[in-house]
Homo-oligomer: A and B are copies of this chain.
Amino acid sequence: MVCSSDWLATMTILPKRVDDQTQLSHESIREAEEIFNSHLKRVGLKHTGQRDAILRAFLETHDHLSTEDLHHLVQRSDPSIGFTTVYRTLKLFSDAASPARSPSTTASPATSTSTTGAAIITWSAPNVAALSSFFAGDRELEKEIGNKHHYITTRHTFQIYGVCGECQKKKPARRGSRL
Q: Which residues of A are interface residues toward B (Cβ below 8 A)? A: 1, 3-5, 8-9, 12, 94-95, 97-99, 113, 119, 121, 123, 138, 140-142, 144-146, 148-165, 168, 179
Bound Cα distance A165, B154 (Å)? 13
Bound Cα distance A162, B117 (Å)? 11
Bound Cα distance A171, B165 (Å)? 49
**Residues of chain B within 8 A of A1, CB atoms compared:** 3, 5
**Residues of chain B within 8 A of A113, CB atoms compared:** 113
Please tell me if the beta carbons of B158 and A154 are within 8 angstroms of each other in the complex.
Answer: no
If A9-B145, A159-B156 touch, whether A151 touches B179 (CB-CB below 8 Å) is no
**Can you list 24 residue pairs at the A/B interface with Cβ under 8 Å?**
A1-B5, A4-B4, A5-B138, A5-B145, A8-B141, A9-B148, A12-B145, A97-B148, A121-B145, A142-B160, A145-B160, A145-B162, A149-B162, A151-B163, A152-B162, A152-B168, A153-B160, A154-B163, A156-B159, A157-B157, A157-B158, A157-B159, A158-B158, A158-B159
